[in-house]
Amino acid sequence: MKPLDQQLADMSVCAKEAQDAFAAARKETHDRVVARREQARASAAAFADRVDRDIQSVGDAVAGQWNELQAKVAADINRLKTAFEERQHDRSVDRTVHRADRLESEAGVAIDFALASIEDAKRAVLDAVAARIEAAEAREA
């Protein structure tokens, strides 16, 4: 597992890439946006695999949380598949506008969830640093 400072740097890079992808997607053709979306799905799957490996190395302490996250990711993937199938049958302008509004709202919720996750990661990092300091102080005493 990478050191915490490197993981935080990676998280920052990912957030910037998401911001850049959003800005670029607003100027691209539909086909390019769909290709970019597929790229993002593949990247998310790769990150999920990495997290799975990291969790296996940490042990069972967080296995329950990981199982919950996996269930959420599976539900999100199923929702995306369903949305895709619905999109194939549903091309009316009003529904398309409504769908775009709804997806923008869902993206906002996902961003809020990511921000909450980042705050939780920050808390976990600070917990780890505090524990390391306490361990050093206990050794010296």
What does the pLDDT read at residue 89? 67
What does the pLDDT read at residue 88? 67
What does the pLDDT read at residue 58? 66
What does the pLDDT read at residue 139? 93
What does the pLDDT read at residue 135? 92
Alpha-carbon distances of 134 from 78, 128, 138, rounded to whole Å: 45, 10, 6
Main-chain dihedrals φ then ψ at residue 26, nearest 5 degrees:
-65, -15
Which among 30, 24, 23 is positioned nearest to 91, based on CA atoms? 30
Average pLDDT, the chain: 79
Is 62's pLDDT higher than 70?
no
Which among 42, 19, 46, 22 is positioned nearest to 33, based on CA atoms? 22
What does the pLDDT read at residue 115? 77
The length of the chain, given as a count of residues = 141
